[in-house]
Amino acid sequence: MFEPDAEAMPPDQRGQLQLARLRALVDRLLSLDGVQAGRLRAAGVQAGGDVTTLGDLPRLPVTAKSDLWEAYPFGMVGVPAADVLVVRGVNVYPSEVERVLLAEPGICPDYLLVLDERQAASRLIACCEYLTTATAGPPARAPAAAGPPEWGLPGEGELESRLRDELGVSVRVRVLPPGTVPRSEVGKAVRVVRWRDGGPPLPGLE
């Protein structure tokens, strides 16, 4: 998809975007815990943040032909197609969004990603909650969009900025009242919902 802002991006800004996407790729490879994860750790790269500049590229291990023979695809970079979200032409992995959200101690580990596909240009909405007294966090109540300053927690705008810096794509964040995001009592938690028509999958979305 053609994006005029990206096509006319200044070189320094483009470099920042490339670095953010490189860090996100390193974090994803490490999370898969496959061949490349082992190579990265052996090279002293424990997280995407260890890549400080694009000049660190030579430090990163390359893929050998034998790796492809022995481990392709799921021992390397392959993941089931259902686990990949395409937002404005950019592949986004739920684990990457989770990593950014849960890096903030005040965010509840229960979250839901809503892929809004009602328009030609899809958008991703990350729905989460602040921790409550039930989980040893601040008092349970509906947060303001700007974030409750007395808790010292990030607001929606700050979380959106962090996600944009890490993923290189805009993700809308909605911090919802406690108990809004569904919990899974048994089995694997549902983390992704595709919104193609009808009403919002969660109250408070539009």
Q: What is the per-residue pLDDT for 103?
A: 82
- Digit-coded pLDDT (tens) for 153-185: 778 888 999 898 888 888 999 988 888 888 765
Q: Per DSSP, what are the bridge partners of residue 39? A: none
What residue ranges of the chain are covered by domains with CATH 3.30.300.30?
82-195
Beta strand spans in 44-185 (E): 85-87, 90-92, 112-116, 123-128, 172-175
- Digit-coded pLDDT (tens) for 46-61: 888 899 999 999 989 8
| Amino acid type, 119 | Q
Q: What is the per-residue pLDDT for 135?
A: 45
Q: What is the per-residue pLDDT for 124?
A: 92
Higher pLDDT, 111 or 187: 111
Write out the H or E segment, with its range, that includes residue 127. strand 123-128
Average pLDDT, the chain: 78
* Interval 56-85 mean pLDDT: 73
* Interval 128-136 mean pLDDT: 66
Q: What gap in Å lies between CA 143 and CA 131, rounded to an integer?
A: 11
On the question of pLDDT at 73 being above 80, the answer is: no
Q: Is the pTM of this model over 0.85?
A: no
CATH class assigned to 82-195 = alpha beta
